Amino acid sequence: MASDHGAFMTKFILQPAKPSPGLPLNGLTFAIKEMFDVEGQVTGFGHPEWARTHSAACSTAPTVLALLEAGATCVGKTVMDEMAYSINGENKHYGTPRNPCAPDRIPGGSSSGSAVAVAAKLVDFSLGTDTGGSVRVPASYCGIYGFRPSFDVVSTSGVILMTQSFDTVGWFARDPKVLKQVGNVLLKSPQVDYVRPSQIIIAEDCFQLLSIPADRVAQVLVKAVEKTFGGHVVKKTTLGDYVKDNVPSLDCFMSKGGDENVYSIPSLAALSSAFRLLERYEFKTIHGEWVEKVRPDLSPGISERIWEGIRMTEEKVDMSS
């Protein structure tokens, strides 16, 4: 673990087909979470039983190919939480990657190895996926940059999905310039339609949750939005008012109270409860049959969440929608 901080599952070299100094990512190296397909390799999804029961990929994920075509070199696949179902960054089968920023702390997950590989300067950037924080959390824990674009902006073809409605390809970098360079490649691919926002909501009550002065952060954000899109798109409100006016289906979660011990904003608690319900149900629809057949050895917390989702009925989802 000392040499690579336990970040890698497998190491290999995928070189760009036509290296050129003119390519935007020329000379940069990257690693990929073990959810991305590479032709001829089994995509292990963070669990040895998954790897044992699945065949090698027939093709490489388009996102990986786009980075190779832009001049970058892929050097391996990284450790992740089992089946992407945790944000701790721990894996009972493959070990927990060591956080270079705080060696006595967890690295965050589920894209743990991808974040650690960047933080440890083993690669210039890396790919992860984010369902409910799996890029953003490890980036913050490891002291690097992490970016989760809007849902469905970057192709998830050739990526094992945890859920079909939330999974998003994201990336890590130490240098914000590299973060932007990768974004220029992945966000400007032919399948991405750039749309200027007609309105950007600033949820002022959420900024009050920060441990640093909220006004300072909000002002930076508002100025950046105004510079990029114009001041006319900015609308300041509270998350509670926005949810009340635009998402009436969350009323049932509001009435239940949600996780009041965790969130001081009831609407945020309601959103969290709705997300967890849908996340578990969608995981069941994609992977429930395999879990029930194989009954893989899972960490306690992950096992609890997965089996709770498998026992969930469609009626429960319908009643809450």
Catalytic residue numbers read: 33, 110, 134
Instruction: Measure the CA–CA gap between 35 and 31, rounded to whole angstroms.
Output: 12
Which residue from 197, 191, 182, 106 is spatially nearest to 146, judged by alpha carbons?
182
Q: Nearest to residue 124, comparing CAs of 185, 161, 176, 81?
A: 176
Count of C-beta atoms within a 10 Å radius of residue 196: 8
Both tokens assigned to 231 = 């001041």
Q: Tell whether omega for the bond before 198 is within 30 degrees of 0, i.e. cis.
A: no
Whether the Cβ atoms of residue 59 and residue 92 lie closer than 8 Å to each other: no
Length of the chain: 321
Residue 96 corresponds to which tokens in the numbers above?
Answer: 């927990």
According to DSSP, the residues that pair with 159 across neighbouring strands are 36
In angstroms, what CA-CA distances link 116 with 99, 101, 105, 306? 6, 9, 12, 26
Cα(207)–Cα(201) distance, rounded to whole angstroms? 12
